[in-house]
Amino acid sequence: MLDIAKIRSEFPSLDRLVNGKPLIYLDNTATSQTPDRVIEAVREMYVDHKANVHRGVHTLSQEATEMQERTRRHLAKYLNAGSEKEIIFTRGTTEALNLVASSLGKIIPEDSEIILTVMEHHSNIVPWQLLQASNPGMKIRVVNINDRGELDLDQYRSLFNEKTRIAAFCHVSNVLGTINPVKEMTRIAHEHGAIAVIDGAQASPHLHIDVKDLDCDFYAFSAHKMYGPSGIGVLYGKEKLLERMPPYQGGGEMISHVSFEGTTFADLPFKFEAGTPDFVGIAAFDEALNFLESTGLDAIEAHEEKLLRLATDGLRDVAPGVRIFGEASHKSAVLSFLVGDEHPYDFGMLLDGLGVAVRTGHHCAQPLMERLGIPGTVRASFAVYNTEEEVGQFLKAVERVASMLG
């Protein structure tokens, strides 16, 4: 059993008032709150260890370098990667996916086909469209969902042909909460000689990620959704593929030798890490990983599933005419809904007046909204520090707003 009171005591932001009401933070899919240990790690880096990494022989630089590389080693172990060389630091999931699309796109045929799903975040759609725009012979094929919000795996299988080079799909939908069968999807992609790219932004705070077990070629996620600092992302990539791919950006750190006659590039992972990284955030991310591991991902998942069940069952009772989007048999702690024909923005603003923070809109998933035939949803998403009492307050707030709007 988790000691939720103790866990909450580590998150100072949860103590504030919003509009005179205790904050109930249910926008965790967008970003999680940050525990004291991570905040203190950021402060310590700025106060005691701030110096550029991999550049200096002096003590501060050596300390900062070691603290950054400690996080890389930790991530390699956390993901069960084959080597720390397979861990690339980026600014977030979005940049990680852009890196893959841009760099991988230079080594696949111009008439390649790419498979995406209708539930992708824009970050896993637009980079591939940009690649397609520079290679007019490329085609993007899209997997649809059923009415429960589950991918049509038969259609997925049918889309592969001899020109398919890449299949890119999310591990967990940021709108529907659907947990996709990414191991099976990766296996199918490999059967057809295609590369599997997984957007893990929504899975990484909740699920065990074992990249060897998944056998995926790339896996991308962000620290700020994992109780860590903002502005830090991670790209796992198989070493053999990263070695083949050209650099994504040029500049300092990613070079071996530069002359006006030509440049040679650094070894992995630095070939893909041009410029000064956010070494402060990277070092602090280590503490967020410690928090997840010490709390226990299995316990976190079980707690969040309980909150999701309570909220889902309760929502149907308190809000007549409620429509829930995403009722897959296997889903994460995301609850997207509409009440009648009320606009999600209006609903979210009124919930905020009661101290409840939710997300409203299309959630950077406009193709999915088109598939669902709606402009957007109200989305409540849960984290380890949320409580059953907060779920009850959320449901009371929804009931009140629904009655206010008629």
Identify whether the C-beta of residue 344 lies closer than 8 Å to the C-beta of residue 351: no
Rounded distance between C-alpha atoms, residue 373 and residue 387, angstroms: 33
Q: Which of 297, 364, 374, 405 is catalytic?
A: 364
Cis ω for the linkage preceding 269 (within 30 of 0):
yes
Please provide the DSSP assignment of 120-169 as one string.
--GGGTHHHHHHHHHSTT-EEEEE-B-TTS-B-HHHHHHT--TTEEEEEE
Provide the 10 A C-beta neighbour count for residue 299. Answer: 12
- Residues 6+ away with beta carbon under 8 Å from 335: 177, 308, 311, 312, 315, 324, 326, 379, 380, 381, 382
- Residues 6+ away with beta carbon under 8 Å from 128: 101, 114, 116, 140, 166, 168
For residue 390, what are its two tokens? 């907060």
Active site residue 364: yes
Among all residues, which ones are annotated catalytic? 364
